[in-house]
Structure 1
């Protein structure tokens, strides 16, 4: 009888366990009572951390070149030396440029003298023309009066000859005098017309003055350019900074970038270290979570025990495809004290705090399930089967998940001990790229 009771009990327990497992599968949670436990929902801090690597860069790198060509006679600064804006960086031998300045000065003086000569020729010609015009007009007036008088006398002599009151000789003399007066009048008119032609010729002299003025201006510009080239033999610092590289030595002959198709000789690289940045490459799967203004923790192998802090200041609008792996440049400004310890081109490890909560309601990520677009947890109930509870989730760091609604602090949820990795971790682990620190999902999206 006792044996029969034991058998019935065992069968009943087996049927109950089978129904529970079948019911659990139908609700989307394949939890075995031997592989699950319950955990209370507790409050605590959680962060969405995105890790990456990058390189340290300065605020600005200026490649220093010289507009002039020639031999280097002075380089007062070496690598790592600090300089101020306006400090002399490089000096070239100025002898050739000094000769060009002297030649330009001589050319300018010569052109000025030619201008003065052209102006004097024009003034002299204008004065002579005025005098000649006055004289010609007076001669014309006198010739016209003389002609009128002679013509009148010739007419009277002709009439007197008809009256036989003058001789033929006297009449001929009067006619000859009238003819000569008429010729003088014509000559006076011709002389006045010739002076008008000379007046038009003055325009040529005015053009000579204009050409001379243009030559003076051209030589002034040539002198200014020669003086500028002389100044260009000295190169001054355009900004405050530090000498990051030096590619020139005393005695070296350099070429000008303005006259050389190769771009000229690079002399120095001047870096502005007043602000320090890190250019990090972020995978395309994570870039959607990066925003300007997010906090960043920065470390470098050179300072293993020191953490630097900064913020995101720029997210690239376009990615870079390398071997079918797309990454985006994220520019991070280092803000913490001691940032000058980070040298340009150092490798830096960055952790972007994409989201965080100081007092979040947390449950293990393994206790959160998703089916048919809904997110839920299993809550123990009075019966043998856990209750399915729909929830809204927030930050998920791969170990813990923030519960925004649907669950209260202190309530218990079924936690699968056998599920070593969260679904997020398994998905990330199946990717071909090397695993990074756990990435979190927001709002239940992965």
Structure 2
């Protein structure tokens, strides 16, 4: 035992000294320091990063009155809206809409009704006067006709010419009487038709007024069910007090279902081809540093769009959270890492260690200095890159170019081994892509409510 301890101490000193001369002396002959790293072995996860915003998978829309366009209201201002995040019960007050334009239309409709009532009274008075005049004329003609009949009776003792004249006078009076009777009937029918036309306009305006008065009550918005009020968000920002709703989209706010959450992100057109439904994702929430949630890519847009604050076209991607937390709320900012490729185990080095000059190589440290070692690379992350051929585990490579780098020996790979390895990498990538495509095809689609438009959109989950 007494001899063992000194031997162990001596062995440790030898190892430390060897390690110092092999690893610690990272300076070359010119005195330049080189940043050395060791080739490590382990799993490699290729991820795409994006920021997003939490949303409820489903939500109940809190809408303004239906049929705004039918009463001539195309845009209505939200006059008041309770603070976002307020928990309400069914029937509680949520918002009120500006009634200024509606009140003006009510006044206009009432004025029109008053005008029609005046016209109706006027036509009734005019008709009554005209009908009375015709009746008086009819009475007078009746007396005249009786007088003509009497004259004809008295003329039978007169000469033939006088009798003929008396008969003609009587026939003329009868004709005038019949004509006046017919005129009275036509005048009555005409007045009835005119009154009916005005009365129809009156009923139409009265119906419009009743609809407008009904809308007055609907301009105060109540909660359709229990929940937490969340403001609507669209390309123009939040829809809060002072914003407007339209006759096409009368949504004032929404009551999200907090039991199922999702996050939406925008992926640039360079990376979108790597994203597929069914891929796993890690989600962080800015409000809760250190907490991480598992997610699943459920859909990606087929067409890119130009979004504010993005330099290039981006594609919408939706990720469903596979675990829930009572602290999560809509509109919270999220960080999303989508795993687009994974390798169980491989050799890895930092990405900046790779040098390119028609061939990929690294500055590999040897016992006598550095060499340029050709390598075959595989998938990479933002930090590391996999090495398929050219290095071994625990080899040391330099992150920066040593002095006199141009004079260093270049060690080439065996061309047959290189071609074979490149083919194996391509085959492995094809297998992984096919496996992801199978997963993507296995998911089903469900018709879910769209957040922005109030309509429907298909998303996969």
Q: What is the TM-score normalised by the length of structure 1? A: 0.49
Answer 1 or 2: higher relative contact order, Cα 8 Å, separation at least 6. Answer: 1
Q: What is the TM-score normalised by the length of structure 2? A: 0.47
